[in-house]
Amino acid sequence: MPESNRLPPPDRPVQPDSSPRRRGHSATAVAAEPSSPSRPGTAVDTPRDTAPGWPGGTRRTARRQRTVCDLLGAPAIASVVVVVALWAYNQGIQSLSLGLAGSDSFGRLAGLLASDLMLLQVLLMARIPWVERAWGHDVLARRHRLLGMASFWFMMAHVVLITVEYAQHDGLSILAQLWQFQFDQRGVLVATVGTVLLIMVVGLSIRAARRRLRYESWHLLHLYTYLGMGLALPHQVFAGSEFNNSLPARIYWWTLYGAALAAVLVFRLGLPGWRSAYHRLRVLAVVPEAPGVVSVLIRGHRLDRLPARAGQFFLWRFLDGPGWTRANPYSLSAQPSRDQLRLTVQAVGDGSNRVSRLKPGTRVLIEGPYGALTSERRRNRRVLLIAAGVGITPMRALLEELPYHHGEATLLYRVTKPDGAVFTDELADLTASRGVRVHYLAGPRRRAASWLPAGSGAELTDAEHLKRLVPDVADRDIWLCGPSPWMAAVRAAAREAGVPAEHLHSEDFAW
């Protein structure tokens, strides 16, 4: 078996490279300037009794996060209950006994539920900081998609039921009734345009359609959701019996619409704008790390006031010319310092290709920080970080920020080719200074459902290989970052190896 594919013996760290520094030399030189408190890879070992991330404190943090999740989930469920109660209060149940009017009543309820769930979608993805920290990006994205599909089908049911009711009452065909709605009902015409936009967004959100689009294009088209919802509002105000006949309903709906609008204005527009203006971010340097991979050093004002943690990501906009309006999500690849941030990007699309051509001095706009893949999730003294490809970026930052003693941190780093590994010099520094045990797992994947390289020993399962590399894996916290199918394979192997679900920390950034 080729040496590069061979799995190292259990817990044998990669030895520090004693040769002169090569890859990443420029990044290290910049980070060592007096204005920066430390350069990547030289974090000081934190005493166990004072470290904020040790088990006692993080178990309390985990309980607090679960409590916040429950508190945030309860109002969402309550909102649906309120909508049904207001429908019943406005003769919704009584209308069910009036022959054909029953479909009208159910249609009204479906429309109300569609509106409620769409507004909950907006609140979920408004980037409210405490919501992001409690649930994390991937959980919010999954619930956003779930609510989106539910609201879409309620909206379709609303259109069908109302149209059928009126068509049968007036003796018209379905198409004739739809046409008549556009001119006889106030707000219906603009609501129809909004509905078409929402149908377009839902169609493009189907996985098969998303795969054919660039991330930047999909993200831009997805913003039409806000326009579609805004166009639907006049219809609800003018034609909705809840607005016309019920003061409690008007109070509820205007409050919910106001909260959604305020959340977007404050957290999607206001807060990012203020942070970008206050911190005055500019590109300091672009440093090659590996073929197709570069690190970008960002200089800024009072970045210690930016609540960023290792493991989090920002949405970045570089004001370098056409295309600057399209934001791209990139994780921090080093622990944030007082005046410097670092991100590392692999060129896989138009946005990431532009990053390698950035010039020093380019202005930078940010949204974030986002994500919950941080040290706050920690429960155990020993930690294991597992990365694939460019997924090393948040793992590299976490290795710098996490408190641990020599031998208590292990990194498994999966790469397709040995020369595709990044931060090799910095990882060697962490091995020498903090006792991190690093295993490079190089080579093509041995099979589709495996997270290991080919030639790593077919006689052992993925879980057995994991236990061979890290015998005490069940007693560690595990952070993962890499492609979604690969992370699913790691999670399956870890669970088979006895790792409790609450010890596995990952965020899926697939869109």
**Measured between alpha carbons, how far is 53 from 68 in angstroms, rounded to an integer?**
19
| pLDDT recorded at residue 214 | 66
**Measured between alpha carbons, how far is 166 from 178 in angstroms, rounded to an integer?**
9
Does residue 50 carry a pLDDT above 60?
Answer: no
User: Quick one: tokens of 328?
Assistant: 């791209």
The percentage of the chain sitting over the pLDDT mark of 90, rounded to a whole number, equals: 34
| pLDDT recorded at residue 60 | 55
Contacts of 302 (CB under 8 A, 6+ apart): 278, 279, 338, 339
Does residue 46 carry a pLDDT above 90?
Answer: no
Sheet hosting strand 282-290, strand order edge to edge: 282-290, 293-299, 340-346
User: Quick one: tokens of 471?
Assistant: 């015998």
| pLDDT recorded at residue 160 | 86
Q: Kindly report, residue by residue over 159-199, the tens digit of the pLDDT.
A: 888 888 878 777 788 788 777 777 777 767 777 888 888 88
77 or 207, greater pLDDT? 77
Q: Are 364 and 298 in contact (CB under 8 A)?
A: yes
Does residue 5 carry a pLDDT above 70?
Answer: no
- Whether pTM exceeds 0.95: no
User: Quick one: tokens of 489?
Assistant: 């394979």
Q: What is the DSSP letter of 12?
A: -
**Measured between alpha carbons, how far is 59 from 353 in angstroms, rounded to an integer?**
41
Does residue 340 carry a pLDDT above 90?
Answer: yes
| pLDDT recorded at residue 29 | 29
- According to DSSP, the residues that pair with 328 across neighbouring strands are 316
User: Quick one: tokens of 456?
Assistant: 């790593």
Q: Kindly report, residue by residue over 224-253, the tens digit of the pLDDT.
A: 777 777 777 777 766 666 666 778 888 888
What does the DSSP assignment read for 361-372? T-BEEEEEEE--
3-state DSSP percent of the chain in helix, strand and coil, to 5: 55, 15, 30
Q: Which of 42-46, 275-279, 420-424 has the lowest mean pLDDT?
A: 42-46
Q: At 39, is the pLDDT very low, low, confident or very high (cuts 50, 70, 90)?
A: very low
